[in-house]
Amino acid sequence: MRSEVEIAELAIKGMDCADCALHIEQALGQLPGVERVEVLLAAERATIAYDASKVSLPQMVRVVEELGYRVGEGDRSRKPPLAGLLGTAFLVAVALLILVEMVAERLGLLEAVLGRIPAPIAIAAVLIGGYPIFMKVYQGLRSRKVTAHALMTIGILGALSIRQFESAALIVFFMRFADFLEGFTTERSRAAIKELVKLTPKVAWLKGEEGEREVPIEEIRPGNIVVVKPGERIPVDGRVVAGSAAVDQAPLTGESMPAEKGVGDEVLAASICQAGSLQIETMRVGADTSFGRIVKLVEEAEASKAPVQRFADRFTAYYIPVVLAAAAVTYLVSRNPVAAVAVLLVACACAIAIATPMVVVASVGSAARKGILIKGGLYLEALAKVDTLLMDKTGTLTFGEPRVTEVLALNGFQEERVLMLAAIAERFSEHPLASALVKEARSRHLALEEPESFSVLAGRGVQARSNGALIRVGSPRFLEEEGINIPDQARALASAFEGEGQTTLLVAQDSQLAGLIAVADQLRPEVPQAMTQLRALGIRELTLITGDSERVASRLASRLEVGYRAQMLPHEKIQEVRRLQALGRKVAMVGDGINDAPALAAADVGIAMGVAGTEVALEAADVALMRDDWLQVPEAIRIGRRAFATIKENLALSVLYNVIGIALASLGILSPVLAAAGQSLPDVAIMLNSAKLLRSPRS
């Protein structure tokens, strides 16, 4: 029997640190028939690829629940049960009394004020208050996992066994406090993502026979007409069929300048209809919309781990045995059980576990709000390390909306005929140059028949057959390769246009050169400033890499003060990326996805321009810029660098804390209670250190 792999998505509640996600991932991964598991902490979701003939969904749900987490949407309010609340209150009260008692003891007022807390009460506080922790440890052990909480539990048992009941109660209190803080911290780092999700449209005004009615977004189907009123959020991706309005696309692009939209224009879900109202024919709804996909990509970004995270994972794996050994050695050498217990309690593996994901989630989330879509922690680190930037020309550095500036006929052809031949051949090409030719021909009212056959030679040109004639349009190099005779006069004209920075296309009918068409495209105005910023960031090499001619490339390159490689076919662009990588460079490639998607994929980071609404580029790139703004390129690099620096700081901080803490504890300098109290310090430090990524300064 052939086995079918199915994909299931589980909503999981109750994960409060990356350790938990890892834990669930491993437990599910051990089930027979489970092929792939991905647990997303920030999205609170697990994606499982499994063989339905070997394992069932309820089985998987049970495994997750046995670990102590909840599955399913169920009750969204995370209300802890009353008993748990009372237990926590009891623990807090006892802990506070013990703290008061300690202070009183210091001041010599103990007998006068209240006396000691009776041992049974302290023990009760340990058992009741520590119950949630003990349960987690127990559930972990049942699936043969020793968690960080297990170390602390051994520490508590140790404290109880040497009759330090009050210390044990305080330790439990501080542990619970650290857990609480950790949950709070992870919540906080999700803030940017949550804000994004909040923008997801939930209802729409559906236009029907008798007026409009408000319906949940799930009921809208492609083809339905929805009505959007002033100030409302556009609920679907679609085409305007009536009305006009100023539309603010900031949620998608980070650009708050509204754009005027009228009949025939495409609009995207989650953008805001400002002045005016619209009727929209629905094309895509919900998760299929551009916005829906952005949200999904951002949520999933956490899963592709930065390579530094692997260091953290390895560290955590060795951590527990090392700490246990350190505690044992402490006891054997010093015979001081208190010091051994303190070693167990100072250990704080969770800080190391959250150091990276916190930063990834916060950075990816806040970048998304600016219109920069980073598809994972992996690319944050790659962005940080970029030292070489390759950039495509047409559609990337330029607007990609070229205009025909000159049509010259040769060999006795008519000018109109040259343009018509070219436009017929280009009718089905999606290249920006093609649309320029077609547009020009239409504006001169030339009749364009459909070619009988048509093929694209990427980076070279096109060829088509029409009325029995073979038409070829493309770069001079292409036509030359095809064996067309190019007279010196044509060569001179071509290089004159190219000297002015205009792309020159030759047109041939069968084996005869028919003419020459010059096309000019405009440089995006912010490019020079972006180059200045990239140089200031210390990018070693900036290189224009284009399929266009030598002269066009060199002219643009010298204007931008960057290097260039001209006449590069798509596969040569990849080779150039590989060549630089072999030299040890970290290469970023900026492109528009037309003719350069393979190079985007080969680069360490592929950055695609202007992808709002175009699916190919959104899928192909590692970093997608939702609006055509070159200043977003240096900004993305800055975001990467800041994130990577913060990750390193966080990791250094947690490792240092643990090393110093364990040293002090084993020397008997740190009491168990202080050790437990210190637990939250690295978490708080990491939270504060990572929070700066959420309020990123505009540069």
Asked if residue 433 binds ligand ADP (CB under 6 A), the reply is yes
The residue range among 114-122, 224-232, 345-353, 469-477 that interacts with ligand ADP, by the rule CB under 6 A, is 469-477
Q: Which residues of 534-551 are buried (b: 16+ CB within 10 A; e: fewer)?
A: beeeebeebbbbbbbbeb
**Range in contact with Mg ion (rule: CB under 5 A) among 148-156, 536-544, 594-602, 607-615:** 594-602
Q: What stretches of 60-210 adopt beta strand conformation (E)? A: 70-71, 203-208
Q: Which is nearer to ligand ADP, 353 or 462 (CB)?
A: 462
The residue within the footprint of ligand ADP, chosen from 279, 429, 671, 679 (CB under 6 A), is 429
CB of 350 to ligand ADP, least distance (A): 48
Query: Is residue 238 close enough to count as binding ligand ADP by CB under 6 A?
Result: no
Which of ligand ADP, Mg ion, none does 170 bind, CB closer than 5 to 8 A by kind?
none
Does residue 395 interact with Mg ion by CB under 5 A?
yes
Q: Nearer Cβ to ligand ADP, position 365 or 598?
A: 598
- Is 372 or 425 the residue whose CB approaches ligand ADP more closely? 425
**DSSP letter string, 232-296:** PBP-SEEEEEEEEEEEE-HHHHS--S-EEE-TT-EE-TT-EEEEEEEEEEEEE-GGGSHHHHHHH
Tokens read off for 187: 């919540």
Give the residue with the Cβ less far from ligand ADP, 305 or 431.
Answer: 431
**Is residue 325 classed exposed, middle or buried when 0-12, 13-18 and 19+ CB atoms within 10 A define those classes?**
exposed
> Are the C-beta atoms of 37 and 88 separated by less than 8 Å?
no
Q: Name residues contacting ligand ADP, limited to 574-633 (CB under 6 A).
A: 594-595
Please choose, from the candidates 536, 526, 475, 532, the residue with its C-alpha nearest in 3D space to the C-alpha of residue 502: 475
**Cβ closer to Mg ion: 392 or 628?**
392
Give the burial class of 111: count Cβ atoms within 10 A of its Cβ; 0-12 exposed, 13-18 middle, 19 or more buried: exposed
- Applying CB under 6 A, among 473, 588, 590, 597 the residue interacting with ligand ADP is 473
Work out which of 474, 634, 640, 678 binds ligand ADP, going by CB under 6 A. Answer: 474
Instruction: Identify residue 35 by its one-letter amino acid code.
Output: E
For residue 501, the minimal CB distance to ligand ADP (Å) is 12
What 8-state DSSP symbol labels residue 320? H
Single residue of 200, 388, 394, 567 touching Mg ion by CB under 5 A: 394
Do the beta carbons of residue 449 and residue 465 sit within 8 Å? no
H-type alpha helices, 302-348: 307-334, 337-346
Q: Which of 34, 169, 436, 505 binds ligand ADP (CB under 6 A)?
A: 505
Instruction: Kindly state whether residue 434 participates in binding ligand ADP, applying the rule CB under 6 A.
Output: yes
* Cβ 652 vs Cβ 609: under 8 Å: no
Q: Cβ of residue 435: shortest distance to ligand ADP, in angstroms?
A: 9
Segment near Mg ion (CB under 5 A); pick from 171-179, 313-321, 385-393, 502-510: 385-393
- Mapping DSSP to helix (H, G, I), strand (E, B) and coil, where does residue 691 land? helix
Residue closer to Mg ion by CB (options 250, 590) is 590
Among 342, 462, 514, 633, binds ligand ADP (CB under 6 A): 462
Sole window of 240-248, 505-513, 591-599, 604-612 interacting with Mg ion (rule: CB under 5 A): 591-599
Residue of the chain from 166, 255, 392, 440 that contacts Mg ion (CB under 5 A): 392
Q: How far is residue 550's CA from residue 554's CA, in Å, rounded to a whole number?
A: 6
Regarding 628 and contact with Mg ion (CB under 5 A), the answer is: no
CB 464 within 8 A of CB 424: yes
- Residue 211 sits at the vertex; the CA angle it makes with 208 and 212, to the nearest 5 degrees, is 75
Would you say 60 or 594 has its CB closer to ligand ADP? Answer: 594
Q: Does 551 bind ligand ADP (CB under 6 A)?
A: no
Query: From CA 293, how far away is CA 435, in angstroms rounded?
Result: 28
Scanning 217-225, 359-367, 425-433, 615-623 for contacts with ligand ADP by CB under 6 A, the matching segment is 425-433
Taking the complex as a whole, how short is the minimal distance between the CB of residue 394 and ligand ADP, in angstroms? 3
Task: Give catalytic status of residue 392 as yes or no.
Answer: yes
Q: What is the x/- site pattern for ligand ADP, positions 390-409, by CB under 6 A?
A: --xxx---------------
Question: 3-class SS at 213?
Answer: strand
**Which of 392, 521, 592, 604 is an active site residue?**
392
- 502 counts as binding ligand ADP under rule CB under 6 A: no
How far, CA to CA in Å, does 625 sit from each of 87, 135, 409? 50, 46, 41
CB of 591 to ligand ADP, least distance (A): 8
**What is 169-191 written as a DSSP string?**
HHHHHHHHHHHHHHHHHHHHHTH
- Strand duo 453-457 + 461-466: pairing: antiparallel
- The residue nearest ligand ADP at its CB is 547
Does the footprint of ligand ADP cover residue 547 (CB under 6 A)? yes
Question: Is 592 in contact with 400 (CB distance < 8 Å)?
Answer: yes
How far is it, in rounded angstroms, from Cα 175 to Cα 159?
14
Per DSSP, the three-state class of 504 is strand
Token match 């499982």: residue? 48
List the single partner that 505 binds among ligand ADP, Mg ion, none, CB under 5 to 8 Å by kind: ligand ADP
Q: Given candidates 548, 576, 622, 628, which one binds ligand ADP under the rule CB under 6 A?
A: 548
The residue number whose beta carbon is nearest to Mg ion equals: 394
Q: Rule CB under 6 A: which of 338-397 touch ligand ADP?
A: 392-394
* Nearest C-alpha neighbor of 70 from the set 32, 109, 16: 16
| Residues annotated catalytic, as ranges | 392
Q: Which residues bind ligand ADP (CB under 6 A)?
A: 392-394, 426, 429, 431, 433-434, 459-462, 473-475, 503, 505, 546-548, 594-595
Q: Which residues bind Mg ion (CB under 5 A)?
A: 392, 394-395, 594-595
